[in-house]
Amino acid sequence: INGSHIPLSPAQLKLMNLLNESPGMTGREELQRLMNLNSHGLSVLMNKLKAKLRDAGFPDVIIQENNAYRLRKIQPVTDG
């Protein structure tokens, strides 16, 4: 990686904006809240996030494996 900025596709941009959307909470506070959640609280939160992403047109972005979550690589959507 040579440090040049790679432009995001509209879909990636929309996803980034969704993930950054936290009314009344800074990223640090949000992170702290996530760290304080038990596994049940985390799964509830992740399900809400999954639903929000699905409604925005990003189904199955979050993948759960064992007790870990990861983001699936997003393919640019081409209309055609």
- Reported as a single tens digit per residue, the pLDDT across 33-50 is 766 777 777 777 788 888
Q: What is the value of pTM for the model shown?
A: 0.44
> To which H or E segment does residue 68 belong?
strand 68-71
* pLDDT at residue 9 tops 60: yes
